[in-house]
Amino acid sequence: MKKIVAMIIGGSHAEILTRVIGFSEIAMAIWILSGIWTRLNALTQIMAAGRASAAAERAAVQKAVVWFDRRMGPILGTNKRVAKADFRYFDDKHNFDCWDTTRNTTSLLLVLQEWGLLKHHAVGDPKYRGNTLVLQTPHNTAVLVDRATKVQWVVDLWPRGYLQPPDVMTVEKWVTED
């Protein structure tokens, strides 16, 4: 390789350029084999549909959460996950409680935000509801904040089963749900 590079550019820079080419080939192989581009491309395409408006972006976020669920469910063993699972189901290996879904959904939303895929929303702090005095079970969820109106929207995967889109509604409405 060094001889070929030396014939093209001369011998004085052949050594360093040969090393740069070698390191670049290794980096490209790692990049291709890791599948990073494929994942970024899939999420970029999903979120592109949401660029038109805040409502469209929330719908795209639902699809991104389903994409994440489809990708991670078989790996984590949660592809048999049922809606509203908690300690009473005695199946922690296959189900997420609301704490798990809140962490995972918030993490995905933070990735979307970091990659610049959220135009109309920012990731907010997770929200909590529950009052055992009125028989409302404790629950928490991920939150998006509309950049223009400052309205907070929940992205709640826990009430849905595997590959079902998460609930998306205002926090104001969500706190009244059971």
Band (152; pLDDT cuts 50, 70, 90):
very high
Q: What is the pLDDT of residue 155?
A: 97
Determine the Cα–Cα distance for residues 62 and 34; give it in Å rounded to an integer: 25
Q: What is the pLDDT of residue 25?
A: 73
Q: pTM to 2 decimals?
A: 0.73
| Segment 19-34 mean pLDDT | 69
Does residue 14 sit in helix, strand or coil? helix
Tens digit of each residue's pLDDT (9 = 90 or more) over 99-122? 778 888 999 999 999 999 999 999
Cα–Cα separations (whole angstroms), residue 39 to 65, 114, 123, 145, 170:
13, 14, 20, 25, 29
* Residues in Cβ contact with 129 at an 8 Å cutoff, skipping those fewer than 6 apart: 136, 138, 139, 140, 174, 175, 177
* Residues in Cβ contact with 64 at an 8 Å cutoff, skipping those fewer than 6 apart: 43, 46, 47, 108, 112
Q: What is the pLDDT of residue 29?
A: 67
**pLDDT for 68 beyond 80:** yes
Structure-block tokens of residue 95: 């189900």
- The number of residues making up the chain comes to 178
